[in-house]
Chains A and B, each alone.
Chain A
């Protein structure tokens, strides 16, 4: 069942208490993840990574290297899961597509004048179309934060809905850029708008703004997803992106998902990490769990 846009009451949104969110997160971060739980979690996390390169200096060769890395995470270690997707700018979708053929790894493309989103709808639609036509299975759009701050929620909603339509069968991830929204109440509001407008995923950040993903902001978004699920029975995915570079933190994100949304979201169909250096740390920890020996970064390929 494909997700379509829904009516939304823009006059009132649930509120969020920041200190209460902090209390909840403290309980998550105090969980102890050991042994099999850890190994299982690390592999699950690896399988949820969107391996990302979004630099002005990106080239075809850089993208090809990344695609290789995605398919050969650490060949000396058998039976590793693959990452979920490789995430690039629209002009590299074709390169990525070619180099990932047959791997089962999706190509995700940012679009809509990423990262600022400061352009016309026409350009944004075209940007999206280029990515989709080039074969992107997933589109990561940014919302118009300026319009959002102006209180023009209809504009934000309509834009997301239009991009969703342009995505066709590709799945749409909507980046809220939470670091620019200012309060959890606004993060919640943006989440609700994005979900109602047709987002398949909501995503915290572009990675270009600090703060990027945090556990608290992710919890706020997971709660929006939960409330939507309660109401409609429709699942929406979640992608924290930026700033998640170590395994311990990744496992805490997974615990947060486990205790908020349960089993159905503990899969890369509904949960992703937008990260570049996380994969290697996960690999190091997987090997450490297996061998009992602490690892060095020199033994894991960097692309």
Chain B
């Protein structure tokens, strides 16, 4: 007797929980005429809740040790590796060939490992001890910008998602990501991976839905500090830049069409969401040459 398959309900991921959209709405993306399922059509309230979660996660995540963040990212890769088959299946469902799907999952795992390795190194790359001409110790070191809105790439839904999220959170930022609108399956499954790894709730929040509905709120929210945009829609870019002005969000516009390229493995993507802090402190000059005592 054949067994009836249990179908998966795709939810969204906010603050380490999997709610349905508060709006109760859904949409049904299709690939090759075949439905991918009933996907949550996230509302602005879902986004608002996600920002609250991201903000409250920020202080702990950004003050976690770099070693710890590095291990957490590594753990994501480990869990992802274990669930490879599921992702391959979903990617195939979304229209990829089996070998394409395999490659996408494997590259995604490796990419997370790549950024996991940067967590405790980028600070050394972007810091400086500045030789000021007065008797002060002066150094510049990066700090995470804060809460980042992310439009994940529309194509290459898994590797695109991973390649945007990893550099953002590696430094201690938290984020609210809008998954690929037309290929959303992997995003939700990836949220399950995150939830099963050691990423604190709220660090990564993943919504599904439409860019057209959420753009305005993701770009204008006063408690969001930056926006990572992927794509090349001039109208979208313009309105994000304009809406970002009100609280001077840092807006990064990126072309992720060539996402497999190693150009997308770079610490400079981490730098995109860093603020440089310069600290001064006097150096006592007693017993030194030219002592002022």
Contact = CB atoms under 8 A, between A and B. Distances in A.
A and B in direct contact, judged by CB atoms within 8 A: yes
A20 B293 contact: no
B6 interface: no
A183 interface: yes
B135 interface: yes
B293 A19 contact: no
B1 interface: no
Contacts of A216: 292-293
B292 A20 contact: no
Contacts of A4: none
B226 to A, nearest CB: 37
Nearest to A178: B293
Interface residues of B, number: 9
Contacts of B135: 19, 22
Interface string B235-276: 000000000000000000000000000000000000000000
A211 B293 contact: yes
B286 A19 contact: no
B285 interface: yes
B131 interface: no
Nearest to B136: A19
Contacts, number: 29
Contact of A184 (B136, B282, B283, B293): B293
Contacts of A22: 135, 292
Interface string A12-42: 0000011111100000000000000000000
Contact of B285 (A18, A182, A214): A18
Contacts of B22: none
A217 interface: yes
A18 B136 contact: no
Interface of A: 17-22, 182-184, 211, 214, 216-217
10 contacts: A18-B286, A18-B292, A19-B282, A19-B283, A20-B282, A21-B292, A183-B293, A184-B293, A211-B293, A214-B293
Given A19-B282, A20-B282, 20 more contacts: A17-B282, A18-B282, A18-B284, A18-B292, A19-B136, A19-B283, A19-B284, A19-B285, A21-B292, A22-B135, A22-B292, A182-B286, A184-B286, A184-B293, A211-B293, A214-B292, A214-B293, A216-B292, A216-B293, A217-B293
Interface of B: 135-136, 282-286, 292-293
The 9 closest A-B CB pairs, nearest first, are A19-B282, A18-B284, A22-B292, A19-B135, A216-B292, A17-B282, A183-B286, A18-B286, A211-B293
